Amino acid sequence: MNGLNDGVAIVTGGGSGIGRATAARFATEGTSVVVADVDVEGGEETVSRIEADGGEATFVECDVTDGDEVAAAVETAVDSYGGLDFAFNNAGIEGESAPSSEQSLSNWNRVIEINLSGVFHGLREEIPAMLEDGGGAIVNTASIAGILGFPNLTPYVASKHGVVGLTKTAAIEFGAEDLRVNAVCPGVIETPMVERSQEENPESMEQTIAATPMDRLGQPEEIAGAVAWLCSDDASFVTGESLVVDGGFSVQ
């Protein structure tokens, strides 16, 4: 894809699901990838798969709730590969399900810390590294829960709406410096996160598929494709956008 060859990317939450597929897609395009995740086994497995396919990747253990660890992951990209061109701020958790009136404060804090503050830490560290080198492209993972309400997912919905706001704001701030910031809003994608919620509520997947015009769940590679496009030169005038990739779920 235009402009991704020879680049350097960081992918948070790269040890599983959407992050793993996107790290692999970057590598296929000729971009070197820093895979950052709290899950060491998952992150190392992503790197092994990329290397087995002839790509270039490094794993960094990183909890996105800790700004210093995110800074160290960005530093690894700069030190190992000479700069930073692309970032996919994607680490996230679903949290516990309960109506707003029954949500625990600990669940609220945990979800906001990972899904929203984690993206904030990413932006804070990635933007200066990219500006050093004349700009770049950042994609943050929001969700259709960043544009719609969903019952029983209060902190998740709030965190993802927050990601959309962070994205718009950074896009305004750095557009003139050739740094584009977009979000991707996946619908329901077949990953370990969704498998967990399916175990809890087996009927929910059938209901989701029935409510999706394309009549199926999405695949992680379909989000990776959208992220690759947003980072490519083909999206050179796209910034501040929240690109919905949901098989039509949110349009009805």
The nearer residue to ligand NAD, 152 or 178, going by C-beta atoms, is 152
Clarify whether 156 is annotated catalytic.
yes
Strand partners, 121: none
**From the CB of residue 239, how many other CB atoms can be counted at a distance below 10 Å?**
21
Q: Which of residues 124-143 bind ligand NAD (CB under 6 A)?
A: 141, 143
How far is 162 from 142, CA to CA, in rounded Å?
8
**Contact status: 76 vs ligand NAD (CB under 6 A):** no
Please state the closest distance from residue 176 (CB atom) to ligand NAD, in A: 29
Residue selected from 4, 24, 29, 42 as contacting ligand NAD according to rule CB under 6 A: 42
Candidate residues 191, 208, 232, 242; the one interacting with ligand NAD per rule CB under 6 A? 191
Residues 198-237 binding ligand NAD (CB under 6 A) are none
Given the complex with ligand NAD, which of 131 and 193 has the nearer CB atom?
A: 193
- Could you say which of 90, 167, 182, 208 contacts ligand NAD (CB under 6 A)? 90
- How many angstroms separate the CA atoms of 46 and 57, rounded? 9
Q: How many CA atoms lie within 13 A of 22 on its CB side?
A: 35
Which residues face 180 on adjacent strands? 137
Binding status of residue 171 toward ligand NAD by CB under 6 A: no
The active-site residue out of 156, 174, 229, 249 is 156
Residue 7 in contact with ligand NAD, rule: CB under 6 A? no
Among 1, 4, 11, 18, binds ligand NAD (CB under 6 A): 18
Report which secondary-structure segment, H or E, holds 118. Answer: helix 118-131
Which residues are CB-contacts of 34 (< 8 A; sequence separation ≥ 6)?
Answer: 8, 9, 10, 11, 57, 58, 59, 60, 73, 76, 77, 80, 81
3-state secondary structure of 206: helix
Cβ 165 to ligand NAD shortest distance, Å: 16
Contact status: 194 vs ligand NAD (CB under 6 A)? yes
58 binds ligand NAD (CB under 6 A): no
φ/ψ of 85, rounded to 5, equals -110, -35
Read off the tokens for 252: 């009805």
Sequence letter at residue 21: A
Among 37, 96, 125, 222, binds ligand NAD (CB under 6 A): 37
- Judged by the rule CB under 6 A, the positions of this chain that interact with ligand NAD are 12-13, 15-19, 37-39, 42, 62-65, 90-93, 114-115, 141, 143, 186, 188-189, 191-194
